[in-house]
Amino acid sequence: MKSINFISRYFAAKKEAKLLAEVYAYFFPKYQCSKWLLLMGKIYRNYFYRCTIVVDSCELLEYFRALNEREQGFSRGDNLRRKRTCFIDWLSEADNKLDAVTILDKDMKDFVQNNFYQIMDLKSIKIYCPDCKIDFKYSEIIRQNSKLHKGWNKVISTWECRVGHILHRQESVAHVFCGVGS
């Protein structure tokens, strides 16, 4: 019985190594990471944001390593875990002496966007206002959301710099149901 378990673990490990190699083949970028990564900007064509958001690659690496440690026993999916491993390896090879901004390709950007609001809490986040031409921290940005009431709502989310320039504006529609007995 022990030999069957050993053989099945052996083939499971070989299968996992093959799947990880496939993820590395299509997900691992061919370019090197620099000190800063572009999280949001005009080049990504997300027109809700008028600002440019960058993060330090070292701090992002520590964030994803901590995320990997926390979710080691529980994973939301094997492919996500493999992509996280690949992304951590790519960030660990970053050239931190190169004070430039790296633009992520579509697969990397989509992967990072899954953790966008958690990443925004990192200390190294810089939000550049194109009108003021000043970098702000996320904590310095004035964030506002419209109030919700029972029924259909037009939800407007905005970010403004200290001067009042709009950095982010997104409109959506939401319906709030009234609970039983309310």
**Alpha-carbon dihedral angle through residues 143, 37, 43, 21, given to the nearest 10 degrees:** -120
- Give the range of the structural domain holding residue 37, as residue numbers without chain letter: 2-141
pLDDT at 174: 87
- Interval 41-65 mean pLDDT: 90
Alpha-carbon distance 103 to 39, whole Å?
Answer: 8
Residue 57 included in any domain: yes
Residue 118 included in any domain: yes
Residue 174 included in any domain: no
Residue 79 included in any domain: yes
Burial class (CB in 10 A: 0-12, 13-18, 19+), 51: buried
Residue 157 included in any domain: no
DSSP letter string over 78-90? HHHHHHHHHHHHH
pLDDT, tens digit, for every residue of 6-52?
455 554 555 566 655 665 565 667 778 889 999 998 888 888 888 99
pLDDT, tens digit, for every residue of 104-159?
888 888 888 888 888 998 999 999 999 999 999 998 989 888 888 888 888 888 99
* pTM: predicted TM-score of the whole model, two decimal places: 0.75
Residue 112 included in any domain: yes
133 backbone φψ class: left, alpha, beta (φ>0; ψ -120 to 50):
left
User: How many structural domains comprise the chain?
Assistant: 1
Residue 173 included in any domain: no
Structure tokens, 44? 């990504």
Residue 165 included in any domain: no
